[in-house]
Amino acid sequence: MDPSGPSDDDASGFTHTRPSGERHVPVLLERCLELLAPALEVPGAVVVDGTLGLGGHAEALLTRHADLTLVGLDRDREALRLAGERLRPFDGRTHLVHAVFDEIADVLDRLGLGRVHGVLFDLGVSSLQLDEDERGFSYSRDAPLDMRMDPTTGPSAADVLNTYAPGELVRVLRDHGEERAARRIVEAVVRARRRAPLRTSAELVALLEQAMPAASRRTGGHPAKRTFQALRIEVNGELDAIAGAVPAAVDALALHGRVVVMSYQSLEDRIVKRVLGERSRPSAPPDMPVLREQDQPELALLTRGAEKADESEVAANPRAASVRLRAAERIREAA
């Protein structure tokens, strides 16, 4: 999945008429395969792709490991349909499930699967969602202000803009977009919606271009970037889902199972860093002379900090420019 910055939007050139395999270039594919490989070499291994998207990582995993069973989760039914077409050669080894990735424990329970050997998360907005004009995720193309990853449920971005109290809108922009001009933007939104509801991305972009301070327009990137990010996160409950999904993934791992997480902005990465960091430290007080088995760390970190894509990958796939990858291995049996 991918960030929603301007260069990323403009780089794709894809439309919804192209086959899924053509429009989706998996980010850090070889690195993900390398990190997961030791855990997936055991007979009967099971991997969870918690953010299936268009199935690029899933296809590569199933191709590389002939005995692998894959559980693919996505909240977007259209993504599941397209990924299903792509993964048809692997029928019998896949379970594709309409679910949010923080529902991993419930999904595994329903499927009758126990501990799994690998979990992959590719967070953020997917290629499908970003490239479909009518979904309204991109500020570089005019579309209805929707931004729902599952367009069949929940309030849209337009609903948030037009119905939230001013103080709540300020919170959304500050907490989810780290937008310094949040109050100024919200004042402009409130004035605009008194005249008529905001309905399209072009209307919002025009408002933001006028509302943003001149200094921010010169140095802060596209004036709509943080607001669109904030609305998308709010509409889809993304940060709460990540905060639940990463611990659930760790809990689902078998001994020596591995989790790999790719984030595309700092709010996501902070959650991943915190969870993996906490689970890779002893749970006993620092002055404890001898650690009991239950106090030993559950995880060993496999990356030093967050890994980023190199120049060659970014040149080939501009959507990899902001990726941050973290990975860990379970080193103590689950309780």
Q: Summarize the annotated binding site for S-adenosyl-L-methionine as residue ranges.
A: 55-57, 74, 101, 122, 129
Quote the radius of gyration of the chain (alpha carbons, Å): 21
Q: Return d(Cα 282, Cα 279) in angstroms, integer.
A: 8
Beta partners for residue 301, in sequence order: 328
Neighbours of 112 (CB within 10 A): 6
Q: Are strands 253-263 and 324-330 parallel, antiparallel or unpaired?
A: antiparallel
Other C-beta atoms closer than 10 Å to the C-beta of 212 total: 23
Distance CA 193, CA 220 (A): 26
Instruction: Say how many C-beta atoms besides its own lie within 10 A of residue 257's C-beta.
Output: 28
Cβ atoms of 253 and 259 closer than 8 Å: yes
Return the number of other C-beta atoms located less than 10 Å from residue 284's C-beta. 14
